[in-house]
Chains A and B, each alone.
Chain A
C-alpha cells in the first residue's frame, strides 16, 4: 500500500522492543536496582516525587529507571499512575516548625534560636570532578554528634512576625475548602492555595527561569532567603470515626520562606512579605524558585502593578506543568498531513498569484518605459 505508516502496529511493537534493549544497555554491566537509584540518586528521586505529585521513593526510582533517567518522562509515568489511585481523604496540614531538621539556614540573621545547621549540601564545595568517585567511591563515615530531640528551632518568619515586621500568615477559616488541581480544572483568577499547588507540581527549570527573571528586574521583589529548612515531618490524618488525628508516617520535605521588602500600598502597611515554597524530598533550588514566583504572583493581593511575566498568573500557571508542556510540544511528531495538505493547497495558490502579479507589474513597467 501507499501509506508509509501501513503496518504501524508491528513497527510500534518493534520500536518499543528496541527501546527496551537500549534502556538495558550493555548486558555485561550490572542492572540498576531501584534501591541504588533511591539511595544514590536521591535528588532525582526528589524531583520526580515533587513534580509527579506522589511521595513514594520506590515508585519514583522505578519511573527513573524505566525512563532511562529522563526525569520529565519519569514524572509523567508517576502522574499517570497516581491518577488511578483511590482518594481516601486529605491529611492534616504538616507542621514544619516541628520538623526533625537535617538542614536549616537563614540568610537574614547571623545567628538565631536553633542555630544555623548546614546539613547535607553542595554549597561551598569546590565544583571539581572527584575522580576518586570514578575509581571506587569508598567513603569514610562522617563523625556523629549528639542529637537533641527537644531542640526548639522556630521559623524565622515567626520571629519576625513577633515584631510586627512580617505580614502574618493568612488566616484560613476552619471550614475553608482547599483547592485541588487534580480534582478541579484550573480557573482564573486562582487563589493562593491553587497557585502553590500548581507551583509545587510545576517544572523546576521553568520556575527557576521565572524566579531568576524577578531578580533581574522583571517584577523585582527584593528577596532575602529568610529560611530554608529540610528534614522530616509527621503526616497526620483525621479519622472521623475516632474523632482525632492519627499519624500516618513521616515524609521528608524542603521548605523555603522568602522574605521580601514591601514599601506598603493602599491595602497593606510597609512590612516584609512572604514568598513560600515547599516540596517533597530535598529540592532546594525548586523551593527557592517557587517562593520567588509565589511572591511575584501575589501582586494582585498586595496592590502591586503586574508588569512582568512572573507576575502574570495566567501565563505562569498555564505553562508550568512539564507533563502538559512536553506532551503538546512533542505532539508535533504526530502526523499532520491532512492539515498540511490544506495549507499546501492554499500557499501554492497564493504563491502562484503572487508570481503572476509580479510578472504583470514587470510587464506594465516595461510597457511604460
Chain B
C-alpha cells in the first residue's frame, strides 16, 4: 500500500472507513460490553467491504477504537502472513494510514482470528477477536429467543449436561476449540474459536479484550484483570493441549504448534502457530531440530521485509 492509495481513499471515505455516527454507535456498544463482562450486546452491524464471516465484527470494533497514533498487528491462525490477515491489514493501512507491525510487543491494537499471541499482553494493548458465532449455547439451542432467556436467568444447565455427556461418552470433554468460559462469575461466553490451549491466557489478562461478531451483530468484552474460567468439573478439571515435541524451528515448548506435512510418507514437523514469536526466538539464537533442514527452508524463502 502506498501513501497515494491512502490519500485517494481519504477523499471518498472517512478515517477507518466507517462514518463517525456509526463509530459512536459501536463505541457505545463496546462501553456497555465492558460494563457487563461477557454479555453479548446487540449492535447495528454494518455491511463492510469484506464478506460476513471474514472478520467484519473485528474490523468494525477495530475501526471504532483505532486512532492515528495506534500501531496495528493483524493475525489469523497466529500468523501475520495468512491471506486474510494480509487483506485486513491492507484495509486498515489504506483507510487509516496507521503504522502496522508484526511484533506483538510493539502493537497497541492486535486484531486476531483463532489465536492469542504467546507473548503476554500489557495494559497498553487491546486484543480484538473476530467472532463467527458469539453464542456459546447456540449448538445446544439454535433459537436466539431461548438462549437470551437462558443467559438472563443464568440457566447454564444445558451446557453442563453437554460437558457431562462428553465425559460419559468419550472419557473427557471433547471440545478442543471455542471452549466455553465463565466470565466474572456471571456470563458463559464463547472465547471465539481459539484452541482451548489459549483459554488460560484470557484469565486476568492485563489487556482489554474486545469481541466483534459482524454477521450476528453482537459485541462483547472482557475488561482487564477479569476472572475468566474454563468450564469443567472438580473431578474432571480443565486441561489444555500438550504437544509431544517442541517447535522444530525455534525449539519453543509450551506453545501452540501447527502440524506441517512434509511429504506423502508421513513426514511432518511441528512449528509455532505464532509466527512472530517463533521468529523472535530464532533471532535470539534459539534453534529447533529442523531449523537448518533444507526441506524446511525451500529456496524461495528469504528474510521478511
Contacts and interface: CB of A to CB of B under 8 A. Distances in A.
Contact of A2 (B17, B84, B90, B296): B296
- A contacts with B: majority SS: helix
A330 B82 CA distance: 17
Nearest to B80: A8
Given A324-B52, A328-B215, A185 B259 contact: no
B81 A183 contact: no
A6 B298 CA distance: 12
Judged by DSSP, the binding face of B is loop
Contact of B51 (A186, A330, A339): A330
Interface in A1-59: 1-3, 5-9, 11-12
A182 B43 CA distance: 11
Contact of B54 (A5, A11, A327, A339): A327
Contact of B90 (A3, A9, A79): A9
Interface stretch (A81-89, A110-118, A203-211, A257-265): A81-89
Contacts of A84: 13, 17, 19
B196 interface: yes
Nearest to B143: A314
- Best-buried of A336, A338, A346 by chain B (most CB within 10 Å): A338
A337 interface: yes
Interface in B161-196: 170-171, 174, 176-178, 193-196
A342 B19 contact: no
B86 A9 contact: yes
A159 interface: no
B83 A188 contact: no
Contacts of A86: 19
Interface size class of A (residues with CB under 8 A): 35 or more
Contact of B259 (A11, A327, A339, A341): A341
A187 to B, nearest CB: 7
A76 interface: yes
Contacts of B304: 6
23 contacts: A2-B269, A3-B271, A5-B79, A5-B83, A6-B301, A6-B304, A8-B81, A12-B83, A80-B47, A82-B47, A84-B13, A314-B145, A331-B51, A335-B76, A337-B259, A338-B177, A338-B256, A339-B114, A339-B178, A339-B195, A341-B195, A344-B259, A350-B170
Q: Report the 4 A-B pairs with minimum CB-CB distance, sorted nearest first.
A: A327-B52, A331-B53, A327-B51, A342-B176
Given A329-B53, A343-B176, A344-B259, 17 more contacts: A2-B271, A3-B260, A5-B81, A8-B82, A76-B47, A82-B47, A185-B43, A318-B144, A323-B52, A328-B52, A328-B215, A331-B51, A336-B114, A336-B193, A339-B195, A341-B256, A345-B241
Interface of B: 13, 17, 19, 42-49, 51-54, 56, 76-79, 81-87, 90, 113-115, 132, 143-145, 170-171, 174, 176-178, 193-197, 215, 217, 241, 249, 256-260, 269, 271, 273, 275, 296-297, 300-301, 304
